Amino acid sequence: MPSTLTNSPSARRRNRWIGRLPYFALAFFLATIALLVWLTRQYDAEEQQSALITDVLWMEQNLRFQLDRNEALLQQIGPELLDRSTRPSNQTEAQLRQLMSQDRGIVRVLWIDAQGALKGSLPPQTETSVVGESEGASPSESVMKLARALGRPVYGPAYPVLGDEYHFEVYVPAWSEEAFLGVVVAEYSLSDLVSRELPWWFSERYRVAVLDPDGREIAAKSKISPLASHLSYTTPFEPPGRGLTLQITAYKGETRWMPVLLIASIVLFGAVIVWSIWQLRRQLARRQEAEQALRSESAFRKAMEDSVITGLRARDLDGRITHVNPAFCRMTGFSADELIGAMPPMPYWDPDQIDNTLQVHDVVMASGTPPDGLEVSLRRKNGERFSALIFEAPLIDAEGHNNGWMGSVLDITEQKRARELARQQEERLQATSRLITMGEMASTLAHELNQPLAAIASYNSGCINRIDAGEVDPAELREIHEKIGRQARRAGEIIRRVHDFVRRSEPKHESIDLNGVIREAVGLVEADSRKRQMRLEIDLAPQSPRVMADPVMIEQIMVNLVRNGMDAMRTTPAKSRVIRIRTRSAANTAEVRVIDHGSGIDGETAEHLFQPFFTTKNEGMGMGLNICRSIAELHHGRLTFEPNPSGGTIFILTLPVERP
């Protein structure tokens, strides 16, 4: 079964893995993208680093070149400035001015003779102090000596001047044909050098700072902007050397939006994918839950359907069987495979009643069955016939269309048999009850019968006497014979009534004249009433109501009610001993009232009145009213009672009138 397959542990494990697969794929995808971005950034950083190094090398070259150029110029003009015999030529002065031009970083040029005396300066200096403004031992002197000794320009250390400005000097020895003339000293401003010597594009990209041997920053070309600390490079500031270093740090470049956007969109897409997978899983879970609920529901319904003893059979609109339940298969003896797809005439139809069943089938297919079902005779596979009660209801699909019929089939063979048995017993009981009634009235009836017989006998002996006496008058004789005939008919009528009343015949269901039946009943009991000195008054509806009934059964009710009334009037004063029988008819019902002036019915008796074997009489059997009510109900009527306002009881029999 598919459900067990999908529920097996291995299938569950596989489903779990399949469920997780998108997450793994997504995680792998995001990791790859992240790696790619990282590699790109790494590559970018390396690119920047190498660009930085190239730029630094270029800057170093540039500074060195500038300083070398200045050195060369100073070497050139040195002898002329220091030679006492000559005045500096115009060209020298021009070169001097050129040196002082702004972009070279030189703030002052001094020329000092071999004895250390200041010979001149530009800008001119009033004091005659020696070079080097730092305190203590004049480092300049040692530097000067070193320059002389080495015979090449020597740079002095950096020293602070006003504020946080730092300067350094270059001592360029000047010679005149092997004779040492002195030194030309160029004083550089570190910050000027750094800021002016570098082109704009360089300072746009980098912050250049000069650090002293202790690592303190003593000059910088700065732009206030966050620095990319990882993109920094330090190189010895050579010349001037002396432990000075150049530190070049790249400014943080413009934010590179492309990778940021790329990452952001990937993260966003990732989030969207995760969200949609999550939604999908939720939906899947909901579906699974619904499926599970549906499975349980359908299992429950199947169990229910399998357990019912009512046969269920579904048909489409063409009458083809689409579904049967086990109870239906058991009932008919056919298997589901044999039944599903079958078209009328169905294999379980009674072959002797094919036409009738087909007719019923057509009616059912057109309009279903009446609320109390339809009874049909069916046949099991083994040939056994059975009675079935069928209830048919339309099958309505989810769109509200009637796409077939669902029939509930009940095997009522046993019930029918039991019902028939009960009916027969009831009938027998009624007949017995009638016999008993007749037995009770036997002496009265015998007496009643005796009267016409006695009359006949007396007329007969009268006739014989006349004949014997030879006084035969034909006219008189005829009159006597007419009387004899009347009496004989009267006797015959009594016997017929008794015979009709006690005769056991099949129950009838015929159109009867209610007044006529009442007259018959009265005919049976009037002798009894006479004997008991009670009067019977009949008040019959002018238009006799017609009802569909068995006349003997209705007569039985009337005899019972009248005799009960007479029993109840035993102690009633003679003048009130009247039983009135009244018939009336309304729109749909006919009503018979039997009104007595007897003892009435107290509450206790009323409770048990219609129960079998309930009696308050010594000789009573207690079955009369019970049988009367059964007969009334058999005729779809009612038997009730109410107290008579003028004393006694009124029994009311209501029967539906016959529909034309």
Total residues contacting ligand ADP by CB under 6 A comes to: 21
Q: Indicate the residue among 249 and 626 with the shorter CB distance to ligand ADP.
A: 626
> Rounded to an integer, what is the distance from CA 184 to the centroid of its chain?
101
- Determine, following the binding rule CB under 6 A, whether residue 528 of this chain makes contact with ligand ADP: no
Residues 380 and 332: beta-carbon distance below 8 Å: yes
Q: How many angstroms separate the CA atoms of 198 and 204, rounded?
A: 10
Pick one of 605, 636, 640, 643: the residue that binds ligand ADP (CB under 6 A).
Answer: 605
Residues 388 and 412: beta-carbon distance below 8 Å: yes
From 55-63, 319-327, 354-362, 607-615, span contacting ligand ADP (CB under 6 A): 607-615
- Determine, following the binding rule CB under 6 A, whether residue 432 of this chain makes contact with ligand ADP: no
- Determine, following the binding rule CB under 6 A, whether residue 377 of this chain makes contact with ligand ADP: no
The helix/strand/coil state of 343 is: coil
Q: Indicate the residue among 176 and 599 with the shorter CB distance to ligand ADP.
A: 599
**Main-chain phi, psi angles of 613, to 5 degrees:** 65, 20
**Main-chain phi, psi angles of 331, to 5 degrees:** -65, -45
Pick one of 63, 73, 601, 632: the residue that binds ligand ADP (CB under 6 A).
Answer: 601
From 76-84, 167-175, 218-226, 608-616, span contacting ligand ADP (CB under 6 A): 608-616
Pick one of 312, 358, 477, 621: the residue that binds ligand ADP (CB under 6 A).
Answer: 621
- CB 323 to ligand ADP: min, Å: 53
Cβ neighbours of residue 205 closer than 8 Å, sequence gap 6 or more: 55, 250, 251
Q: Indicate the residue among 15 and 599 with the shorter CB distance to ligand ADP.
A: 599
- Determine, following the binding rule CB under 6 A, whether residue 182 of this chain makes contact with ligand ADP: no
- CB 598 to ligand ADP: min, Å: 5
- Determine, following the binding rule CB under 6 A, whether residue 616 of this chain makes contact with ligand ADP: yes
- Determine, following the binding rule CB under 6 A, whether residue 565 of this chain makes contact with ligand ADP: yes
- Determine, following the binding rule CB under 6 A, whether residue 564 of this chain makes contact with ligand ADP: yes
From 37-45, 57-65, 288-296, 621-629, span contacting ligand ADP (CB under 6 A): 621-629
From 85-93, 320-328, 385-393, 613-621, span contacting ligand ADP (CB under 6 A): 613-621
The helix/strand/coil state of 118 is: strand
From 165-173, 247-255, 541-549, 561-569, span contacting ligand ADP (CB under 6 A): 561-569
Cα 510 to Cα 420, 513, 550, distances in angstroms? 20, 10, 6
- CB 502 to ligand ADP: min, Å: 18
- Is the bond leading into 236 cis (omega within 30 degrees of zero)? no
List alpha helices for 83-224, DSSP H: 90-100, 139-150, 190-196, 200-205
SS (H, E, C) 415-477: HHHHHHHHHHHHHHHHHHHHHHHHHHHHHHHHHHHHHHHHHHHHHHHHHHHHHHHCCCCHHHH
- CB 646 to ligand ADP: min, Å: 14
Q: Indicate the residue among 350 and 567 with the shorter CB distance to ligand ADP.
A: 567
Q: Indicate the residue among 140 and 564 with the shorter CB distance to ligand ADP.
A: 564
Each as own residue / partner, the long-range contacts of residues 642-647 (CB below 8 Å, 24 or more positions apart, any chain) are: 643/600, 643/601, 644/595, 644/596, 644/597, 644/600, 646/597, 647/576, 647/597, 647/598, 647/600
Residue nearest to ligand ADP (CB): 624
From 30-38, 87-95, 240-248, 617-625, span contacting ligand ADP (CB under 6 A): 617-625
To the nearest 10 degrees (0 to 180), the angle between helices 514-531 and 551-568 is 30
- Determine, following the binding rule CB under 6 A, whether residue 624 of this chain makes contact with ligand ADP: yes
Helix (H) or strand (E) holding 375: strand 374-379
Cβ neighbours of residue 53 closer than 8 Å, sequence gap 6 or more: 233
Residue 230's Cβ-count burial label (10 Å; 0-12, 13-18, 19+) is exposed
- How big is the CA angle at 510 (ends 507 and 514), to the nearest 5 degrees? 105
Pick one of 12, 41, 256, 617: the residue that binds ligand ADP (CB under 6 A).
Answer: 617
Q: Indicate the residue among 249 and 437 with the shorter CB distance to ligand ADP.
A: 437
- CB 581 to ligand ADP: min, Å: 13
Q: Indicate the residue among 379 and 434 with the shorter CB distance to ligand ADP.
A: 434
Cβ neighbours of residue 287 closer than 8 Å, sequence gap 6 or more: none
- CB 569 to ligand ADP: min, Å: 8
Q: How many angstroms separate the CA atoms of 537 and 540, rounded?
A: 10
Residues 583 and 545: beta-carbon distance below 8 Å: yes
- Determine, following the binding rule CB under 6 A, whether residue 423 of this chain makes contact with ligand ADP: no
Closest CA to 509 of 356, 655, 654, 638: 655
From 68-76, 128-136, 277-285, 598-606, span contacting ligand ADP (CB under 6 A): 598-606
Q: Indicate the residue among 67 and 536 with the shorter CB distance to ligand ADP.
A: 536
From 80-88, 155-163, 361-369, 591-599, span contacting ligand ADP (CB under 6 A): 591-599
Q: Show the binding pattern over residues 566-585: x = contacts ligand ADP (CB under 6 A), - = does not.
A: --x-----------------
Instruction: State the amino acid at position 17 in one-letter form.
Output: W
Q: Indicate the residue among 17 and 613 with the shorter CB distance to ligand ADP.
A: 613
Q: How many angstroms separate the CA atoms of 362 and 550, rounded?
A: 34
Closest CA to 612 of 604, 620, 622: 622
Pick one of 321, 609, 639, 655: the residue that binds ligand ADP (CB under 6 A).
Answer: 609
Residue 370, both tokens:
């009446």
Pick one of 40, 62, 353, 599: the residue that binds ligand ADP (CB under 6 A).
Answer: 599
Q: Kindly report the number of other CB atoms within 10 A of residue 64's CB atom.
A: 13
Q: Show the binding pattern over residues 626-655: x = contacts ligand ADP (CB under 6 A), - = does not.
A: x----------------------x------
- Determine, following the binding rule CB under 6 A, whether residue 614 of this chain makes contact with ligand ADP: yes
Pick one of 80, 528, 591, 596: the residue that binds ligand ADP (CB under 6 A).
Answer: 596
Return residues touching ligand ADP (CB under 6 A).
560, 564-565, 568, 596, 598-599, 601, 605, 609, 614-617, 620-622, 624-626, 649
